[in-house]
Amino acid sequence: MNKLEAIAIGCSKGGFNALKLLLGALDPRLQQTLLVCCHTGGGTDVLASLLASHSTLPVIEAGERQPARAGTVHVAPGGYHLLLEHDRHFALSVDEQVCFSRPSIDVLFGSAADVYHAALIGVVLTGANGDGAEGLAQIRAHGGIAVVQTPDSAEAAAMPQAALDIAGADYCLPLEQIAALINRLCLT
């Protein structure tokens, strides 16, 4: 079994289209837990169902106290920060916004790093603010793998650029190549 346990993905502006492309190209045999935080502004109750039809893996909204499942994409619900407990169940919070966002990518990434340590891949995609950069730095500090979309291939460059500036990356790739990288890292 591959040692990687989870993949956490963050994005905001342009994120929906990026996620469609990424999730549609993942290998359906992946056994890792996928966590997605996408700022959409307001209620995102429909995000999971919208993404489901484009994804090779099942997509559900992460539910309070529900287990993080293998081979499943969990989307952070709108208006709440998404965190993980050490028993790999989800926890939600309405703590203050981080980087003007709730859910915040920093919060999800930081919490996932606490739980999965080096067995985690953090992915920062297109977005219009700096959320995710601190979280990605925490993932790297725990020995996890950082993947950042090349800013010039992103619909909004600010988020991947901030991630590169603050956290750096193990891989910086155009969006089209990120799914293949994840498949390779997770299946070999």
Binding range to other proteins, per CB under 8 A, among 6-14, 48-56, 80-88, 156-164: 80-88
State whether residue 85 is helix, strand or coil.
Answer: coil
Minimum Å gap between C-beta 141 and other proteins is 6
Minimum Å gap between C-beta 107 and other proteins is 7
**Around Cβ 128, how many Cβ atoms within 10 Å?**
17
- Amino acid at the residue 91: A
State whether residue 135 is helix, strand or coil.
Answer: helix
Report residue 30 CA to chain centroid gap. 15
**What's the CA gap between 176 and 188, in Å, rounded?**
20
Q: Does 111 bind other proteins (CB under 8 A)?
A: yes
**Around Cβ 151, how many Cβ atoms within 10 Å?**
17
Which of 184, 99, 90 is closest to 145 using CA atoms?
184
Binding mask 81-100 for other proteins (x = CB under 8 A): --xxxx----xxxxxx----
Q: Does 63 bind other proteins (CB under 8 A)?
A: yes
Q: Is position 12 annotated as part of the catalytic site?
A: yes
In the bound state with other proteins, the residue whose beta carbon lies nearer, of 143 and 174, is 143
In the bound state with other proteins, the residue whose beta carbon lies nearer, of 39 and 140, is 140
* Number of residues lying near other proteins (CB under 8 A): 25
Report residue 167 CA to chain centroid gap. 15
Q: Does 140 bind other proteins (CB under 8 A)?
A: yes
Q: Which residues are catalytic?
A: 12, 39, 131
- Footprint on this chain of other proteins (rule: CB under 8 A): 63-65, 77, 80, 83-86, 91-96, 107, 110-111, 114, 117-118, 140-143
